[in-house]
Chains A and B, each alone.
Chain A
Amino acid sequence: MDPMLIKLAFGGLAVLGCIGLIFGIGLGLAAHKFAVEINPKIEEVKEVLAGAQ
């Protein structure tokens, strides 16, 4: 294989990995900061119901 292509492939992996990591952390922080409290009873009631629909 051409070493240029291998370099490009690993470079691409690194760059896309970094982008994904940054965005993942960003989304995680956003989800933490804008968290909405959901009443746990809603889930429990849903469990008990028949749930055909």
Chain B
Amino acid sequence: MKKANFYSGLLALLLGVLLLSGCETEHRFIKKVSFKGGNQIVVVFAGPVDQRWAENRDNYAVYEKPDPDILLSITEVQLSQDRRTVTLTFEDELNQDQPHIVSMRQIMSEGRSLGTAIVTAKKLYFGHLFSILIGAMIIHNFVFTKYLGLCVFFGTSQKKSTAVGMGITFTIVMVASAMMSWFLYQFVLKPFRLDFLQIIVFIGLVSLSVQAVDTILRKINPVLFKAFGVYLVLVIANCIILAVPLILADNEYNAMESLMLAVGAGTGFLIALFLMSSVREKLEIANVPPTYRGLPIAFVVAGLFALAFMGFSGMSIF
């Protein structure tokens, strides 16, 4: 009992640290950066800034995170009465689905320079996380819109029970390996400029986490281990589990975003497996032409599901 308390405390601490690390802004003098209306960004400073610095448009450079070479043109800079809030107005509507980088040159506050600040304006942080989760789960479902992980998908979707077992195992392994690969990518591969080796490292990590789950589960919960059976090893052969670390390395996600992407991809795969296995159980008793029995009709069903999931495409949350 005491041990369980200890572990849950540790988990809560870890989650707290992750949340805090996601919410901080990147410069000590800047309290908040946020979107306002359709074409404005508001920057809140911790202290008053100099009027001459603040109203010079050349001190600001704003761009969308994926395209650093396209600077957005600022039409107006407004400083509030207490000189702590700057409102930047842009010529065009801002695409608020993308995080925007606001770079401010040599911030002057009461005659002192506070250095250059590069901060990110994002939509509501939890909304952003939620949209990553739902996006990976349904809108960009890895099986039905990206056609990844198909061999495991067709191999284990014959029965509902095995499908659900596979989905749950997959989600657990996915979260473990995605978090490890995020850590390695951010703190080992990038500082040593070895990011071209990411595929090799990620493959190793996936097999490591599968092996670790295998060893630990065998001892801790033999019943569950028996139920998972061969699927645990099959997870290694799944390409979704390799796609997720590559996507999060590509998009430079932080820890919370990576966690959300991994959980979303795992549950998305679980949903896909569950839907498919329900249909295939019904197909067993249906009158299918002999040439189509088995795998061919399963491919047809998967195609129909993919069409249905196309209905979600282009949706955005928040």
Residues of A bordering B, CB below 8 Å: 8, 11-12, 15-16, 19-20, 23, 26-27, 30-31, 34-36
Contact = CB atoms under 8 A, between A and B. Distances in A.
B212 A20 contact: no
A30 to B, nearest CB: 5
B218 interface: yes
Interface stretch (B4-12, B58-66, B193-201): B193-201
B20 to A, nearest CB: 27
Nearest to B189: A15
Given A30-B216, A34-B215, A34-B220, A15 B204 contact: no
Given A12-B194, A16-B197, A23 B220 contact: no
Given A23-B208, A27-B208, A27-B211, A12 B220 contact: no
Given A11-B194, A12-B194, A34 B208 contact: no
Contacts of B208: 23, 27
Given A20-B204, A27-B212, A15 B219 contact: no
A36 B217 CA distance: 11
B212 A30 contact: yes
B219 A23 contact: no
The range of chain B's interface size is 10 to 19
A8 to B, nearest CB: 7
Contact of B188 (A8, A19, A31): A19
A12 B215 contact: no
B184 interface: yes
Nearest to A32: B215
Interface in B117-131: none
Contacts of B218: 34, 36
A16 B218 CA distance: 29
Given A26-B212, A30-B216, 10 more contacts: A8-B193, A15-B188, A15-B194, A16-B201, A19-B188, A19-B201, A27-B208, A34-B218, A34-B219, A35-B219
Nearest to B211: A27
Interface of B: 184, 188, 192-194, 197, 200-201, 204, 208, 211-212, 215-216, 218-220, 222
15 contacts: A11-B192, A12-B192, A12-B194, A16-B197, A19-B184, A19-B201, A20-B204, A23-B204, A27-B211, A27-B212, A27-B215, A34-B215, A34-B218, A36-B218, A36-B222
Nearest to B222: A36
B215 A31 contact: yes
A18 to B, nearest CB: 9
Nearest to B208: A23
Contact of A15 (B192, B212, B215): B192
A26 B215 CA distance: 12
A15 B194 CA distance: 9
Contacts of B194: 8, 11-12, 15-16
Contacts of A31: 215
Contacts of A27: 208, 211-212, 215
Contacts of A26: 212
